[in-house]
Structure 1
Amino acid sequence: MIHNTNFDVMDSPLIAWDNLVAQGTLAASTSAAGFPVTGLQNGVTTDPWSPTAMPATVTLTLSVARFVSVLSFAAHNMGTQGVTVILERFVGSSWVAVFTYAPADDLPFMLSFPAVDAAQWRVRFTGANLFWVAVMSLALGLTIPGRVVPPHTPLHRVSEVELVGDSESGTGSFLQADFERMGGRAQINFSVQLNDFATGEEFEAFRQHFNRGRPFFIACFPTTFPQDMGYVWRGQRADSIVPAWQDAVFMSIGMGLSVYVR
């Protein structure tokens, strides 16, 4: 789910990829043994941080002020545990709230807001119950001009199930279906793009990030279909992003994705 208060985004695809959490110094109010706050810096969904007392905080200190417009989470149990998330930035001599949200479930989510800058950021977690979270991202959103074009499967509906063994006998009788839940795969194609964007510095930085298999968050239709978002990375068999001319004016861009499934 994406919750968007940035009206510059509207329904164009929104990508949060340049994660500042991995680029600064993190400090947590408390950390449980075996659940260090540094686990939030590697993007891995199986390496969570967990506090030992509530409320809890994670503070990010950067060397210089940076603009941020998206806070994202994946691989967590904050919905189940009734946790409220409060993003704050340090302005002058005090902490100023930017966004407050209480997730209703444990699915990935993005919080999108007008860009603001700071050198220090803090996320406060309030509630009565302890929790864990593995992926936290603070980034300046990248908006892809235009739309995601069909055919398109919403990212929250791409989970796959693999059947294990035989589920029927040689005579056609049903026996038992054993299965293993898998992750998800998706192909996203964007509206054709002008050369200025497709070969510009901003998209080129993201293209290199994607081609190297690094993770990011994407919301396909932030306003009309907020559920259509996910924590994703380049699929193992997916091609690199290589913008190609469609005619004398426009270039095409697509991405083959692996999608985190809770």
Structure 2
Amino acid sequence: MKVVVLGAGVVGIATAWHLADQGHEVTVIDRRMGPGLETSFANGGQISPSHAEPWANPATLKSLPGWLLREDAPLVFRWRADADLWRFGLRFLANCTRAAARRNTERAWRLARYSLDGMKAIRAAEGFAYDEASRGILHVFEDPKGFDAAGRHAAELDRTLGIPHQVMSPAECVAHEPALAPVQTRLAGGVLSPIDEQGDARLFTANLAERVAAKGGRLLYGRSVEALETGGDRVTAVRLDMGTRIEADAVVAAMGSFTPLLLRR
């Protein structure tokens, strides 16, 4: 198949790699002059399937009234006349029930594990470095009540969904991360997500883009998508700036927050 991937971030380039590895004819398009130069450029670098729980959950709903007027809140709401924002807000609130949060966590967990397996497949096949580390992600707590609540919640996720966590004493936290030694006496404990990883998303994306090209993929940088052409129930071509038109059997939109803006046209 001729597949066009829109977006050369970590998701788009990883998608292109898997497609090229399966023998498809792949073209990647990005408006920047190289891969991984927008969302993938300087993000947190976490590969964290254990953190699959959505923000829309009962705990968030309970805290939301106190957050609405705070600029330093975990979730900041900007009051403005934006129909899309208000529709999203209503859907968000509707998903803050216990049943919806559990359902969404389970779905996100399955997808996150699938994504992690895909990462491992790339790493095994290509073997390049991207400042990776596979020591898990450790959350530490100074407040005993917060630590107890986090420990109970971690145990529930482990028991009900199989999401692995380890509740650790202050000494165990320091053994896992020696840099915490100066503050050990202030710690109540920690919760470790052992299967989580870290890495440089931009470096990973840049290295993987080279492998996509080596597999025969075409990388078009500095080009903007103007429109999608459709026929029947599928996209048949992508129209770029400067009058370029690329026919496709399938199109993958991996443009982050710009994806819905394009698909609505």
Report the TM-score range of the alignment, normalised by the length of the smaller protein.
under 0.3
Which of the two has higher C-alpha Rg? 2
Q: Identify the structure with the greater strand proportion.
A: 1
Per residue, is there more helix in 1 or in 2?
2
Instruction: Tell me the TM-score normalized by structure 2.
Output: 0.21
TM-score (normalised: structure 1): 0.21
Higher RCO (CA-CA < 8 Å; seq separation 6+): 2
